[in-house]
Chain A
């Protein structure tokens, strides 16, 4: 942690970040593998974050070259601080300092997203054309519209406030931990925890902020947010029974039911999303909601397979989603309607994304499949009405498959849909190193599930190594054989007209239209327009919050009497709760 905090120079910090990442992986995995109990679970998350930091170091070093020096320096300081606040959070028990770092993490995340906005705003002010030092920027950063960034940052901020408020509620109520809480207070505490941690972990109705705010951040930051920060919400929920006692069973059912609904909802919305990083963010919601289902099912039944699923899938999700988000950093645009054929320009990035997309679609033998395998087996072992959730998992699996075929296919394959694609630059060596380390870890994770989970004792796995070997050997043989085959280069078959245009390829919405017809809530008029009541509700709430915040600004007038009065009232509330 100290090593992270001490750094403040652009030249040093990537290496510090990487090396501290490596240290975190080493220590984290060592402790985690040596035995799983309530005290070692933070080490699992340390290892998870370490894996991300390790890749982020070299990636950032090259990525920040494209930013103006001032901004790059600022980011070089803030990103390690953000990382450090996440690490500090894991080392602390639930309490005042935990809340402090929780808020610090949210605040730093917000500031980092806002940096994008400031830069984007400058761009717009500069007569719509990039300044000279920004011209050759191959990253989406400067193309982002100011308005959407502002909106994204606002969503992020509001979600953080929501989450912080929930935690504070739980914290205040649980101050009196020496006595058992009455039933209704315990309910309130768990509501607070569900809102507090659930918002960060994208629990279903509180998940809309994620696809709004993660895509507008710079790619490495969205990787860090989506793959790293959201996991801390899961960590909080996982540890909550240690701090607050056994959750009541309505919490378990809430997690399971909302998680299943949320996973389907996120994928359906993801299919109607036109922004590549937005699609990835929706897929994050799906994975996080499945993880919440695993946790809820574990609490409900005590079946250890759910716990295996919970931990394994978190690691898998962090790695493949980190890869996908970081790889999206080379794209010239984020709109599915303007991309296509990026493979020809950036083969390494595309290949890495393909591996991650196969994992993210939950296909064997890569890591994304294992979590779902454990989950279904766990559901089978319970043999109760809960087993019917398998049907929903089937739907989720199919939807995820379509989602990733769509997003990968439209971005990396086919013909370019706009001229901007021609300017795509392949990832620089540092970025490649970062991406490679993530994919390497993803493959290792897929091949060594028993070793990663060995803290649980000898765990059930399917014979992943023989199957992978068979697949790689056969695949490689066939590949060589087909590459050597005599072939002829020719145009794509165009029905004999010779008029094939990129526009004839399916567009982002055209691709998913047929599938979206299956689900309610999509008005198919001239364009496909999702009508989302949930989103409108969120809008109302956030407007209300801003209005309320405006009213409360009157309190911050600097009047010492008012402050003293406020403190007195706060003290009264705390005492009231404690003596109730």
Chain B
């Protein structure tokens, strides 16, 4: 249910983001449904298979789309499968997508793909601990460590929730390959992270990748929404709106930071996650 819902919504989110960004930059901009049209265009094309490619070349986009899709299926925005420790599986499935994408980037023997692959790993190293810590802190508040049973914020839990939202918001920027970590609209191979891994994929393979990256963005939006004390669907749209405005603002008024400065930014992610968990463990009240 959730998976289908997010899947259908994902191109609208990224497409309208392009439109909003263009408007903020005083450009005409594409229509908000541009990414549906893009997907349709890609699905009408044939794809190029590099001669060096192994089956991993196709497995990459395939698993990289399936990982976030199944992760989305576990999010209780709409009624869905939920069990103890489901948040770990969400993180694991997102990682499966990352793993297959980074492998497929190495598959073509392209130097750009290799660069994208290890940069992706670098971002993963910076993001993973904070994300896991934040989700763990939030899971501690729930009855059986499941995303479906998160309670309303109280004096005991609000500190964990606020810090976890901060950590996840930073993780959203990193995982969604957004400014200031990565620039989704860049066309210079030497500076790309996410896009450098997709250089050799075309047609339906590229469509899968595009869909996967949009879906991943919404999975993080949904994770943040689950922490908020409103009706889940309502808070999902609320968070999506905030993320939509925030991302467009960031991409208009700020720029990518260089790789060696990335730890300086992502340390806030780790610190927020660690503090959230520490606050829960030591029972700090707000």
Q: Within the complex, what minimum Cβ distance (angstroms) separates B165 from chain A?
A: 18
Asked if B99 and A363 make an inter-chain contact with CB atoms under 8 angstroms apart, the answer reads: yes
> Nearest residue in A to B263 (C-beta to C-beta)?
A518
- Which residues of B have CB within 8 Å of A506? 106, 111, 114-115, 117-118
Interface size class of B (residues with CB under 8 A): 35 or more
- Which residues of A have CB within 8 Å of B129? 391-392, 394-395, 398
Q: Within the complex, what minimum Cβ distance (angstroms) separates A111 from chain B?
A: 39
Interface residue? A520 (CB, 8 A): no
> Nearest residue in B to A398 (C-beta to C-beta)?
B128
Q: Within the complex, what minimum Cβ distance (angstroms) separates A479 from chain B?
A: 6
- Which residues of B have CB within 8 Å of A517? 260
Q: Within the complex, what minimum Cβ distance (angstroms) separates A456 from chain B?
A: 16
Select the stretch in B21-29, B215-223, B243-251, B274-282 that faces chain A: B274-282
Interface residue? A299 (CB, 8 A): no
> Nearest residue in B to A354 (C-beta to C-beta)?
B56
Interface residue? B183 (CB, 8 A): no
Asked if B199 and A493 make an inter-chain contact with CB atoms under 8 angstroms apart, the answer reads: yes
Asked if A405 and B51 make an inter-chain contact with CB atoms under 8 angstroms apart, the answer reads: no
Q: Within the complex, what minimum Cβ distance (angstroms) separates B196 from chain A?
A: 11
> Nearest residue in A to B101 (C-beta to C-beta)?
A405
Chain A 381-411, CB-CB to B under 8 Å as 1, else 0, gives 1011101101111110111011011101110
A156-B74 Cα distance, complex, nearest whole Å: 47
A324-B5 Cα distance, complex, nearest whole Å: 39
With A479-B58, A515-B122 already in contact, the answer to whether A369 and B92 are too (CB < 8 A) is yes
Interface residue? B236 (CB, 8 A): no
Interface residue? A466 (CB, 8 A): yes
Asked if A494 and B118 make an inter-chain contact with CB atoms under 8 angstroms apart, the answer reads: no
Chain A 359-381, CB-CB to B under 8 Å as 1, else 0, gives 00111100001001100110111
Interface residue? A350 (CB, 8 A): yes
Asked if B49 and A391 make an inter-chain contact with CB atoms under 8 angstroms apart, the answer reads: no
A405-B95 Cα distance, complex, nearest whole Å: 12
Count of A-B contacts judged by CB separation below 8 Å: 249
Interface residue? B15 (CB, 8 A): no
A contacts with B: majority SS: helix
Asked if A380 and B200 make an inter-chain contact with CB atoms under 8 angstroms apart, the answer reads: no
A510-B273 Cα distance, complex, nearest whole Å: 30
Interface residue? A564 (CB, 8 A): no
A515-B263 Cα distance, complex, nearest whole Å: 11
Chain B 65-104, CB-CB to A under 8 Å as 1, else 0, gives 1100110010000000101111011001101101100110
What 4 additional pairs, Cβ within 8 angstroms, besides A373-B89, A405-B99, A493-B200? A391-B129, A401-B99, A513-B118, A518-B122
- List, sorted by A's number, 24 A–B pairs whose CB atoms are closer than 8 Å: A341-B52, A343-B54, A354-B56, A363-B96, A377-B145, A379-B136, A380-B85, A387-B277, A390-B136, A395-B129, A398-B125, A401-B99, A409-B107, A414-B109, A467-B89, A470-B70, A487-B47, A487-B203, A490-B50, A492-B108, A492-B200, A493-B110, A495-B189, A506-B114
**Interface residues, chain A, with chain B CB atoms under 8 Å away:** 340-341, 343-344, 347, 350-351, 354, 358, 361-364, 369, 372-373, 376-377, 379-381, 383-385, 387-388, 390-395, 397-399, 401-402, 404-406, 408-410, 412-415, 460, 462-463, 466-467, 470-471, 474-475, 478-479, 481-483, 485-495, 500, 502, 504-506, 510-515, 517-518
